[in-house]
Each structure stands twice: as C-alpha cells, then as structure tokens.
Amino acid sequence: MIEFQHVHKTYRVAGREIPALNPTSLTIENGQVFGLIGHSGAGKSTMLRLINRLEEPSGGKIIVDGEDVTAFNASQLRGFRQQVGMIFQHFNLLASKTVADNVALPLTLAGKLSGSEIDKRVTELLARVGLSDHARKYPAQLSGGQKQRVGIARALSTNPKILLCDEATSALDPQTTASVLQLLAEINRELKLTIVLITHEMDVIRRVCDCVAVMDAGQIVEQGSVADVFLHPQHPTTKRFVQE
C-alpha cells in the first residue's frame, strides 16, 4: 500500500541544511497496522507527514496504492488526500462546531454528498465510535478520549484507504489509551484499513501493531514484526524501548 524509495527530507534553517530524514526505503503492506517508534526528534512525524505530502520530500519517491504521489499536481493531491484520514495528538477539533459538524466537515468540503447523505454518514460514524448520544455537544463538553473518538470518526468520514495516527494516544490516560487502541484495532479488522501509527510508547506498539520500525536520528535503525523486535531487539535504541 505504501512504499518509500530512498525518500529523504532536509529543512533549511538560517541558511543551513538540517536533515530530518536520511534516505529511507520502506514497504507497508495493505491492511497492516504499522508502527513508527522513536524519541522526540527521531524523524517519525516527518516520515508520517510525507505520506500525504503535508511535508514535501527533498528527494526520492513515495508510492501509495501503485501511484507516485510525489508526482501529483495540486488537484491530484486534493483528491488523494481524501483517501488518507489523519488523527492528531491534540484532536484539532473546531471548538465552535458541534461533534456532528466536526465529523461532517471533510464531507462538506469535498462537496460530493447531499445534506441528507452527510447526516446519514455522520450518524453511522458516531455510532461506530460510540458517540451517538453526543452529536449535538461541543468539544469543550467532552473528555479527552471522547474528543479523540470524534477525531477518529472525522478521519473515517471520506472512506479512506489509509489512516495516519500522529501520537494519537499520548495526550490520554492509560485506560482511555487502551479503549482508543481497541477501537483502532476494530477499525483495522472490520474496514481492512492500512494504519500507520507513530508513538514514543512501546506499549502502544505491543497492543495494536503488526510491524514496527524503530527510528533514531532521522533513520530507521531496526524493523520487523512486533514479536521479532520485542523478543530479539538488536539496536541499542530498540533495546532501551523494550526495557522501558
């Protein structure tokens, strides 16, 4: 579903080139829950945002579902992004809109469905994430876990092929984290979605991921199935994560 071919990213800061991601090749299979783990500054957020070109690569190719997204023009990119849902660490909900309106927003912007079709889709999505009774509430009236469930419903609204999770549980307490991860696992199983999840917590990887790549200083230092990486960690960074 997702393939990185020698992709790298460099930022220009005060006239200096700062590498954020060294040349990286990676394959994520269709329907996988793939975890990227690393400490702050390891390059995992950059790598995640390269998938839907929220970050522009400095070089290399990104192939998604057989198409070279690095070659897309602005119009193609808008269409492609409707196939990629994104869940954010701090929810990114609009405080002035209700739960239902937040979920409906991507559908309204896409302009492909009628008002009644959007209402029906929103009702389905809120039922899926267990928030049917909260449609008319505002974000300020919700708990952190409920806000993240709204974020998940919004990310699913356009029937994406891929779900990107940017530290989706790091702002939540352990019990709420467990329920959100269980929801993501159900979504992956039922909708056959490919999920790419970044985190700095090995327990999140253990609970929900099929495969994991460990990042350090802008490069992948180890990758494999979760069981292999947990049982036979090779790199010092991986060993530290496993020990924690």
CA distance 7 to 58: 8
Residue 3's nearest CA partner among 165, 158, 166, 194 is 194
Q: Which pLDDT score is estimated for 94? A: 94
Task: Return the SS3 of 66.
Answer: coil
Residue 106's nearest CA partner among 130, 90, 122, 126 is 122
Report the side by side order of strands in the sheet with 211-216. 84-87, 162-166, 194-199, 33-37, 211-216, 219-225
pTM of the model: 0.92
The residues of the chain scoring below 70 in pLDDT are none
Assigned token pair, 151: 């974020």
Helices (H), the chain: 44-51, 74-81, 99-110, 115-128, 144-156, 174-191, 202-208, 226-231, 236-243
Describe the crossing of helices 99-110 and 144-156 by its angle, rounded to 10 degrees.
20
The DSSP line for 112-137 is: -S-HHHHHHHHHHHHHHTT-GGGTT-
Q: Which pLDDT score is estimated for 24? A: 94
Max intra-chain CA distance, the chain: 55
Burial environment of residue 136 by CB neighbours within 10 A (0 to 12, 13 to 18, 19 or more):
exposed
- DSSP classification of residue 90: T
Q: Which pLDDT score is estimated for 90? A: 87
Q: Are 187 and 156 in contact (CB under 8 A)?
A: yes
25: left (phi over 0), alpha (psi -120 to 50) or beta: beta
Assigned token pair, 116: 């009644």
